[in-house]
Chains A and B, each alone.
Chain A
Amino acid sequence: MTSIEQFLSLIHTEVGLELAVEDIDRGFDQVAGWDSLHLLTLITALEETTGQQISMPDVLQATKLADIYGLAAIS
């Protein structure tokens, strides 16, 4: 995962949500259309894209998309 834009594009194609860069720092409850179920879809997609397993408890504890981007970028 190299850029925020790629991350947002992945969310758009896999989860179906079109988000702006500023959305990733908002709390999930502030992101229109977000549902906790989307985390699972996103994890699967991120793992496929990066070829790395991402810590699911860390993702589930994330409060905003930026946290997940951080987890995916490190792994």
Chain B
Amino acid sequence: MTGSVTTAPASADAELLELHRRGRLAADYPRVRALVHDLTGLELARAGQLLSRVSADEIAAAHPGTTAVTVAITGHSTVTGLVAPLTAELARYGWPLRPYVADFDGYVFELSDPGSGLYRAGAALTVCLLDPTIVFDEVPTPWQPDDVESVLAGKLALLERLVAAFERQSAGTLVLNTMPLPRLYTAQIVDYRSRARLGRIWRAANIALLELAERHPALTVVDLDPLVAEGVAARDPRLAVYTKSQLSPDLLAAYARELGHLVRATRGRTKKCLVLDLDNTVWGGIVGDDGIDGIEVAETYRGEAFRAIQKAAKQLGHQGVLIAAVSKNEPETVRRVLAEHPEMTLREQDFVRVIANWGPKHDNIAALAQDLNLGLDSFVFVDDSPYERALVGRELPDVTVVPLRTDPATYLPCILADGWFDARALTDEDRQRSAMYRGDLARREIRANFSSIDDYLADLAIVVELAPVAPGQYERLSQTTLRTNQFNLTTERLQPADIQTRAEDPAHLVLAVRSRDRFGDNGLVGAVLARREDDRLVIDNMLLSCRVFSRGIEESCLSALLGHAVTTGMNEVTASFRPTAKNGKVRAFLPDNGFTVAAESPEATVYRHDLAVIADVPPYIDLHASFERVAP
């Protein structure tokens, strides 16, 4: 055999190992992302080990566009075991992990001391890992359920104080988890009555933990019970005894996956649209061959699997996820299934759009993205055909393609496995989103019938309200900063607590933009964030939902804000544009509206408006602007 034969690595796992052997993990990080994306179990665990040896700085040096995620990890027992799986999970989204790991049992000190290393790390996410020994290390020997109850009461009070301290010190998110109760402890209580009491006491404490998150906006509590219910052992006896790692590597891996979803949500990378194939994905069988009466959607063995998928799609749709169908079929046949099949759960109105034709699916998805004005990275594609999945994955690498196994009963767990649509909180707008987007598509069709864009906009009868944010809108306004990527001057993400802080500061203007037109209410569609600095008004950010821009709403709001600056005695208004991969659309917004360049750097361009000439509100917009806060 000659020495220079190079064989292609057989799998993602093998290729990753090869990159590691050649010391290329940092240099080839974008490739690493693709390789780890669909790894699971032991392979993903190993990837985490290898990747956790590569520093975030090294990756950033090789790829200046990557944004590392700083995560602080603390707890009562050994918590280092979370670093590798979290590294792997974040790598799946292309984000290097910059971990801060607190000292053993350091959580009380680190969370209560404002000067602690944990706070200095400035983490976006702080994870305080809770495990059963936080309680059982303190009960006497022998112990009774009452002892557990009193230790738990003390710990809950302590945790609430630590959460409050965290909220004072950090602008980030704190994550706690519910504590599994291993049989190791319940089995040490021999009478059934007391054992049941222990179970009740333990669950009451977990409920109290979950309730903490309702009182503290910066806190998220991840419930580990559903992960354990999937068959993940909570504890590994050897690791627990010998290394004080109280939660098993498998549970930490499952938890790390949930944390990855949370990071995605806090970074505004929640997916927005679920694209479903129809034949053998939404119903069993091929409607073109089997006929409308021949497909399986309920009652039969396979039918139940598809009914479960339909019900889940409807469930997601009611929480703001846009559901679309892209199917190689005759449109009339599909229309009849959705309208007439008596056992279908999904109907036409559950979809933002049903695309049935014989064109390539990637073309259909790309056109849908354009019509909905969404980036391709907002789409999740589900199809039973490996051929279609591979083709969409190749042609549209930004679209998330869900890997399915072969049995239809396993499709739904696969679709839900990665929490693609997980969000910090839902708002009324989320629940209306599908209807709003259907309205958008209707507007688009009407638009084709008008000779000029101004005629069309006048016909829409757009009403815009610009007003200080009300306390009930903090969550929604925060979400606007998290979800809006295109019309977003600075892409500064704000959590609800940040919005509240600014809204309560008299120097700040935090304005919500609402709009409606003859097709309906668009709800809260944007935000204007500004602050007074002496005789200058600084626009911190302006954002507008991609559903409504280019209709004069943004110009109206800016015009009103500049007018407000004049009436309150300001001499100038400044604003910045920070380019990202997605906000190129607003690059010209400030210069087009009378701003001139004041300073320029690769990271940002600072603009200034001298308030001499302010453009009028477009004639077809009915603007209602107010800047006075209503006293609470």
Interface residues of A (CB under 8 A from B): 12-17, 33, 37, 40-41, 44, 56-57, 60
Among B118-126, B236-244, B505-513, B614-622, the stretch in contact with A: B236-244
Asked if A16 and B243 sit within 8 Å, CB to CB, the answer is no
- With contact pairs A40-B245, A60-B242, A60-B243 given, residues A16 and B20 touching in the complex (Cβ less than 8 Å): yes
Which A residues are CB-close (under 8 A) to B17?
13
- In the complex, A44→B49 CA distance in Å? 12
Asked if A16 and B245 sit within 8 Å, CB to CB, the answer is no
Number of A-B contacts (CB under 8 A): 30
Asked if A17 and B53 sit within 8 Å, CB to CB, the answer is yes
Measured CB to CB, the closest approach of chain A to B78, in angstroms, equals 8
Give the dominant DSSP class at B's interface.
Answer: helix
- With contact pairs A17-B53, A37-B80 given, residues A12 and B21 touching in the complex (Cβ less than 8 Å): yes
Which B residues are CB-close (under 8 A) to A12?
21
Instruction: Name A14's contact: one of B46, B80, B243, B249 (CB within 8 Å).
Output: B46
Interface residues of B (CB under 8 A from A): 17, 20-21, 46, 49-50, 52-53, 80-81, 84, 238-239, 242-243, 245, 249
Q: Which A-B residue pairs are the 9 nearest by beta carbons?
A: A16-B53, A16-B50, A56-B242, A37-B80, A56-B238, A41-B49, A60-B242, A16-B49, A13-B17
- In the complex, A33→B21 CA distance in Å? 16
- In the complex, A40→B20 CA distance in Å? 20
Instruction: Name A40's contact: one of B46, B50, B52, B239 (CB within 8 Å).
Output: B239
Asked if A40 and B243 sit within 8 Å, CB to CB, the answer is yes
Which B residues are CB-close (under 8 A) to A17?
53
Closest to A53 in B: B238
Asked if B49 and A15 sit within 8 Å, CB to CB, the answer is yes
Which B residues are CB-close (under 8 A) to A60?
242-243
Which A residues are CB-close (under 8 A) to B20?
13, 16
Closest to A43 in B: B238
- In the complex, A37→B239 CA distance in Å? 11
- In the complex, A37→B80 CA distance in Å? 7
Give the dominant DSSP class at A's interface.
Answer: helix
- In the complex, A41→B88 CA distance in Å? 15
Asked if A33 and B53 sit within 8 Å, CB to CB, the answer is yes
Asked if A14 and B53 sit within 8 Å, CB to CB, the answer is no
Apart from A13-B46, A37-B81, what 13 extra A-B contacts exist at CB < 8 Å?
A: A14-B49, A16-B50, A16-B52, A16-B53, A17-B53, A33-B53, A37-B80, A40-B243, A40-B245, A41-B84, A44-B249, A56-B238, A60-B242
- Give the residue among B49, B238, B245 with the most A Cβ atoms within 10 A: B49
Measured CB to CB, the closest approach of chain A to B35, in angstroms, equals 15
Which B residues are CB-close (under 8 A) to A44?
249
Measured CB to CB, the closest approach of chain B to A44, in angstroms, equals 8
Measured CB to CB, the closest approach of chain A to B335, in angstroms, equals 54
User: Can you offer 14 A-B residue contacts whose CB atoms are under 8 A?
Assistant: A13-B20, A13-B21, A14-B46, A16-B49, A16-B50, A16-B52, A16-B53, A33-B53, A37-B81, A40-B239, A40-B243, A40-B245, A44-B249, A56-B238
Which A residues are CB-close (under 8 A) to B49?
14-16, 41
Which A residues are CB-close (under 8 A) to B249?
44
Measured CB to CB, the closest approach of chain A to B101, in angstroms, equals 10
- In the complex, A14→B249 CA distance in Å? 15
- In the complex, A35→B398 CA distance in Å? 37
- In the complex, A57→B243 CA distance in Å? 9
- In the complex, A14→B84 CA distance in Å? 12
Which B residues are CB-close (under 8 A) to A13?
17, 20-21, 46
Which A residues are CB-close (under 8 A) to B81?
37, 40
Measured CB to CB, the closest approach of chain A to B86, in angstroms, equals 14
- Give the residue among A16, A33, A44 with the most B Cβ atoms within 10 A: A16
Closest to B54 in A: A16
Closest to A37 in B: B80
- In the complex, A50→B374 CA distance in Å? 52
- In the complex, A2→B210 CA distance in Å? 51
- With contact pairs A12-B21, A13-B17, A13-B20 given, residues A57 and B53 touching in the complex (Cβ less than 8 Å): no
- In the complex, A29→B283 CA distance in Å? 60
Which B residues are CB-close (under 8 A) to A33?
53
Measured CB to CB, the closest approach of chain B to A50, in angstroms, equals 16
